[in-house]
Amino acid sequence: MPQVPLESGALDYFIDIIARHMPDVIFLQYESMPYLTRQRYMSHKCAMNDVEDYDMKAIDNLNDPHPLTWEESVVNLLTLDMIRANNTHMKIDYTKGLCTYAYPDIQDKRTHDNLHDRFVEAITNHIICDNWSPYYEINQVMFKALMGKHKVILGDMPEILLRQILGNSLSLEDVKDIFKFVIEQIGKAKVPVTMNTATI
C-alpha cells in the first residue's frame, strides 16, 4: 500500500470539495472487476435462493470483463454485507452491518466501533484487492467516502478489457517492437526498473 504523508491535508481537501459541490456520486479511478465479480456472484446466490427479481440466467459469465451498466460499478454496502456473511440480504441483520454504519440512529455506538476495522478490511479485500492507487489521496477518499455515506463509482477500465483491446488492435510485429523497446529501456536503466515503469 502506498505510504501516506503525515501532513497531507488530503481529507480536509476532500471534505471541502464535498461541502461545496455535494455530488450524488464520487468517481474514483479504481478497477471495478474484483468488486463486480463478487457482486455478480451474490446476485447469482440470490437467484439460487429464489429471491424475487433475481434470475439464474441473468449472468452468463461472472468474469465478463466490462460493466453491463454504469450502475453496476457503484459500490453497494449491502453487497459487502452479503459477501461478508456469504448470504442473501434477506438473511442478514441490517442494524449490525456496513450499510447502516453511518446511521447513528439505527446502529448503536458499540456495534459501530466494533465494525470499524471490519469495514476497512471489507473495502481492502473486496473492492481494492491489492490494486492500490499510486495516488494516496484516491486511496484515502475511497475509505472516507464509503464509510461516510457517499456513493462511489469504480471508474477505471478493467485490465482484462484493456488487454483484449490491445490484443485486437496490435499486430504481432507491433507487439514484438514494443517488447523490444521495453527490454532496451530496462537495459539502459542504472537502477532496478519494473516492466510497468519501463513502459511509461
183 plus 129 within the same structural domain? no
**Residue 199: predicted pLDDT:** 61
Q: Is residue 5 part of a domain?
A: no
109-123 and 136-146 are packed helices; what angle lies between their axes, rounded to 10 degrees? 140
Neighbour-count burial of 101, counting CB atoms closer than 10 A to its CB (0-12 exposed, 13-18 middle, 19+ buried): buried
Residue 119 near residue 97, CB atoms below 8 Å: no
178 plus 94 within the same structural domain? no
**Can you list the residues of the chain whose pLDDT is less than 70?**
1-12, 58, 60, 63, 65, 195-200
**Residue 142: predicted pLDDT:** 92
**Domain of 44?**
10-158
Cell of 146: 464509503
Q: Is residue 83 part of a domain?
A: yes
69 plus 129 within the same structural domain? yes
Q: Please name the residue that has the C-alpha cell 537502477.
A: 191
Q: Is residue 28 part of a domain?
A: yes
Calculate the alpha carbon distances from 14 to 9, 52, 57 in Å: 9, 39, 41
| Cβ count near 24 (within 10 Å) | 7
Does the CA dihedral 22-80-135-181 come out positive or negative? negative
**Residue 69: predicted pLDDT:** 84
137 plus 184 within the same structural domain? no
**Residue 136: predicted pLDDT:** 85
27 plus 74 within the same structural domain? yes
76 plus 105 within the same structural domain? yes
Q: Is residue 142 part of a domain?
A: yes
152 plus 175 within the same structural domain? no
Q: Is residue 163 part of a domain?
A: no
Q: How far apart are CA 159 and CA 140, in angstroms?
A: 22
Count of domains forming the chain: 2
20 plus 108 within the same structural domain? yes
77 plus 175 within the same structural domain? no
**Residue 125: which H helix or E strand, with range?**
none
**Residue 172: predicted pLDDT:** 83
**Residue 1: predicted pLDDT:** 37
Query: Residues 138-194: pLDDT tens digits?
Result: 898 999 999 988 999 998 877 777 777 777 788 888 888 888 888 887 788 777 777
